[in-house]
Structure 1
């Protein structure tokens, strides 16, 4: 790997539909590109409330946008060969799931949580369900004050960075929003700067 290459931070929220698509592909794409990946879970709820004055997903607040998003997700999952089942509850409370991602920030854990939510329609707000998905150890660590503080710090940092939705990719201070910007973020990591 080139010593000048920037790491890529993946800012994601376990309830985020488009983050599901990105999470299922990002690790493989980073390996292929030779880019170091950092997992950065955070919570969108506080950001939506503070920045947009809403207490629900924008996809629920605007039903037209929501209908488009669900159809778009079907197409994207078919395009990338990802399993897909529309969750019976959206968005799910993801505080515990995001804490688990902080406690065990690995692709295996993150993908298992996304798969449970968006392919298996499992309640990722439930500690018993999460323990079955990722094992009891990460769930136990997720309940610690240190991990709770880490998730709060990540969410505060997301606000500071100007994050307003998910997913985001941060490379050398440059922010890329949306799962469709993954390739752009990878290219920036390999050769920072405008071409």
Structure 2
């Protein structure tokens, strides 16, 4: 697995944090090409609610995230409020000189220490650790905003519908729980066997009517 895998993610997702930590710790030979994007833009495009916008799903999602973290032995502490505005964190990541270091530092701030990170002010300590003297100016740069938008547009063109998503060759693998399958496919395309390919085109026997 020498070629980097495109990785579409948003700091708002605890599962993106878990996948990041998991890949860094357990699969150091896997190179990533990070593609930060705004998850809300994907939801808007596909006409979906986020998991945290449906009360019972929100409760379930948070419990599953904590369960996965404990099973993986990864520290996870939710920030003070969720969902939160991830734009400052996403832009700070793109503005940093060392993107991989920035991703690690921002995830640690938000999901390991459980700190607020929805503004330049609440991310000031992270920015300082990355050698950024003026985070407010850094995240306001036009080229940073353009790259974030371009990542989202690219993801939509590819059919990305959620975060985190790994792109391996021509296939997309969504979620922390798809990590092993994605890496298996990266090692050997036969991991997506004939039955998996068959269900790609499985006919629909009924289609739910969309609400008026």
TM-score (norm 1): 0.85
The offset of 1:53, in angstroms, is 5.0
Task: Describe the SS at the equivalent of 1:67.
Answer: helix
Pair 1:115–1:170, CA change in 2 (3 A): same
Aligned to 1:143: 140
Gaps of 5+ in 1: none
Q: How does 1:167-186 map to 2 (within 5 A)?
A: 167-186=164-183
How many Å separate the matches in 1 of 2:143 and 2:25? 30
Aligned to 1:9: 6
Aligned to 1:88: 80
The offset of 1:110, in angstroms, is 1.2
After superposition, what is the alpha-carbon deviation per residue over 1:125-165, rounded to whole angstroms, capped at 9, x for unaligned?
Answer: 12123231242528343321111100000011111111111
How many residues are aligned here? 187
Alignment partner of 2:52 out of 55, 60, 71 = 60
Aligned to 2:95: 103
Alignment partner of 2:125 out of 108, 132, 155 = 132
Alignment partner of 1:43 out of 29, 38, 41 = 38
Moved more, 12-21 or 86-95: 86-95
Task: State the Cα RMSD in Å.
Answer: 2.1
Structure 2 contact 10–163 (Cα < 8 Å) conserved: yes
How many Å separate the matches in 2 of 1:71 and 1:155? 28
How many Å separate the matches in 2 of 1:60 and 1:130? 23
The offset of 1:169, in angstroms, is 0.3
Gaps of 5+ in 2: 194-212
1:27 aligns with 2:24: yes
Pair 1:98–1:160, CA change in 2 (3 A): same
How many Å separate the matches in 2 of 1:102 and 1:174? 25
Aligned to 2:68: 76
How many Å separate the matches in 2 of 1:112 and 1:148? 20
Alignment partner of 1:122 out of 115, 119, 124 = 115
Task: Describe the SS at the equivalent of 1:170.
Answer: strand
How many Å separate the matches in 2 of 1:11 and 1:60? 19
